[in-house]
């Protein structure tokens, strides 16, 4: 039997570690209430400062007051400025309103980036967050094409993949992630996911009571988003997901690929059975 290479042995070890992590996870994540976001971008600045990310966004796009435009290898938090020709339900003064939303990696319960990584560079931590180990990433880019949200990105400088770590280095010392710590309105809330979900449901009920019937939770659990099995960074929205540049029904590509191959295997098996049956039938006729 051929001995495993060092890379293969490491891959097996990391897969085993992922399985072990699933049995001892303390699930933590983000709840982002977009109705509280004021577009100050304090979260963006705090993220860049703590993670020592390159500065960017100095070019005016001409399309929005938002200068960083989207998440990327050097922008792990992005505050979108959304201009709508729609009045909020509690607003007087015409059919126009602003929405602000701080976007981030969703740390999906079923993560396409993690499942497609061939080197074991992407792991699930003891907090159920999805973390890229930069010293193991080989820059293949499989994770990029398997993220249904277009979050993870390769750096043009070194080719490796980068995204939000949920401040794993801070979490290990029971510290709040930099973005949530800096948020002045508590739009970004961090903590135990079950507690966050309860708080989010109460918030939606309160908004409904106050007349904002359009408020709802996006990606809060597997039932509402089966394609990802739920998000560990979920959102409260007041318009369609597409308005926030979020997919309405995201599906992890590896989920459909496996189902496709399973169907293909059954099809091949069926055709093989028909072929064998035809051969024996032909022999019987002779």
Confirm whether residue 108 is marked as ligand binding.
yes
* C-alpha–C-alpha distance, residues 160 and 140, integer Å: 8
Q: How many CA atoms, within 13 angstroms, populate the side-chain half-sphere of residue 43?
A: 33
Confirm whether residue 24 is marked as ligand binding.
no
Confirm whether residue 37 is marked as ligand binding.
yes
* C-alpha–C-alpha distance, residues 48 and 219, integer Å: 26
Confirm whether residue 147 is marked as ligand binding.
yes
Q: What is the DSSP string of 39-102?
A: ---HHHHHHHHHHTPPP---S--SS-S-SS-S-BTTBSEEEEEEEESS--TT--SSS-EEEEEE
Classify strands 28-33 and 233-237 as parallel, antiparallel or unpaired: parallel
Q: Which residues contact 44 (CB under 8 A, 6 or more apart)?
A: 68, 75, 77, 78, 79, 102, 179
Confirm whether residue 154 is marked as ligand binding.
no
Classify strands 161-162 and 153-154 as parallel, antiparallel or unpaired: antiparallel
Confirm whether residue 143 is marked as ligand binding.
yes
Are residues 130 and 124 in contact, defined by beta-carbon separation less than 8 angstroms? yes
Confirm whether residue 242 is marked as ligand binding.
no
Could you identify the residue written with the tokens 């024996």?
A: 280
Confirm whether residue 226 is marked as ligand binding.
no
Confirm whether residue 183 is marked as ligand binding.
yes
Q: Which of 22, 49, 28, 46 is nearest to 195 (CA)?
A: 28
Confirm whether residue 247 is marked as ligand binding.
no
CA distances from 209 to 126, 189, 204, 212, 236 (A): 37, 22, 9, 7, 15
Question: Considering all CA atoms of the chain, what is the largest pairwise distance in Å, rounded to the nearest integer?
Answer: 88
Task: State both tokens at 225.
Answer: 């988003």
Annotated binding-site residues read 37, 40, 43, 47, 105, 108, 113, 117, 137, 140, 143, 147, 164, 167, 179, 183
Annotated binding-site residues for [4Fe-4S] cluster read 37, 40, 43, 47, 105, 108, 113, 117, 137, 140, 143, 147, 164, 167, 179, 183
């Amino acid at each position: 039997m051929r001995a495993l290479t060092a890379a293969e042995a490491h891959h097996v070890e990391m897969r085993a570690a992922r399985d072990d992590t699933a049995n001892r996870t303390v699930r933590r994540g983000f709840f982002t209430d977009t109705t509280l976001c004021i577009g100050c971008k304090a979260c963006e600045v705090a993220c860049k400062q703590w993670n020592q990310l390159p500065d960017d966004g100095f070019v005016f796009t001409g399309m929005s007051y938002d200068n960083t435009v989207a998440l990327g290898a050097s922008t792990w938090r992005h505050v979108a400025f959304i201009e709508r020709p729609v009045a909020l339900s509690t607003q007087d003064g015409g059919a126009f309103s602003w929405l602000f939303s701080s976007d981030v990696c969703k740390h999906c319960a079923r993560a396409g980036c993690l499942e497609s990584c061939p080197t074991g560079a992407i792991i699930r931590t003891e907090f159920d967050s999805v973390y890229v180990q930069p010293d193991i990433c080989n820059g293949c880019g499989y994770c990029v094409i398997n993220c249904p949200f277009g979050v993870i990105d390769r750096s043009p400088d070194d080719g490796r993949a980068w995204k939000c770590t949920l401040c794993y280095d801070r979490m290990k010392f029971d510290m709040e992630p930099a973005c949530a710590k800096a948020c002045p309105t508590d739009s970004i809330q961090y903590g135990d996911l079950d507690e966050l979900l309860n708080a989010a449901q109460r918030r939606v009920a309160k908004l409904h009571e106050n007349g904002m019937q359009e408020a709802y939770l996006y990606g809060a659990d597997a039932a509402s988003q089966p394609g990802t099995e739920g998000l560990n960074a979920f959102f409260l929205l007041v318009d369609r997901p597409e308005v926030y540049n979020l997919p309405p029904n995201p599906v992890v590509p590896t989920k459909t690929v496996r189902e496709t191959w399973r169907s293909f295997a059954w099809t091949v098996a069926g055709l093989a059975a028909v072929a064998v049956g035809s051969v024996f039938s032909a022999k019987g006729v002779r």
